Amino acid sequence: MSEPLTDEKIDATFRNGSLTATGIILGFSLNFIGLWVSNPNDWSRVDLLPMAFLTVGIAIQVKVFADLLARDSLLAVKYDRARRLFLIGLSIVAIGMGIALLNDILGLSSMRMFG
């Protein structure tokens, strides 16, 4: 695959669609962590691992959202970097959710995902 030229630009409408998708997924991630944190059950050490993954993944997603809002995100190089970072952040959040779900299924955590 060839690297895009440093001054190659993407169409603004294409970037806007990506910005919308990023915002929706970021909103879902923030909603998940908000509901999970507001759970009235007690926290245990086993909850720290999924929380660390969720926090790092969401931080990356927020950075990507800010990067896509910048004017220079229309440059293909910057857009491609933001896209790769977003997929990394999304994967980290998914791993955190998976660990939290596994902890719930195995009964290791008092933080219940299923009520």
Q: How far is CA 87 from CA 21, 36, 82, 104, 112, in A?
A: 12, 22, 9, 25, 27
pLDDT digits (tens, 9 = 90+) for 18-67: 999 999 999 999 998 888 888 777 778 888 999 999 999 999 999 999 99
* pLDDT at res. 47: 87
Record the pTM. Answer: 0.86
pLDDT digits (tens, 9 = 90+) for 12-25: 888 889 999 999 99
The average confidence (pLDDT) of the chain is 88
* pLDDT at res. 44: 83
| pLDDT of 2 over the 80 cut | no
DSSP assignment of 11-49, as one string? -HHHHHHHHHHHHHHHHHHHHHHHHHHT-SSPP-GGGHH
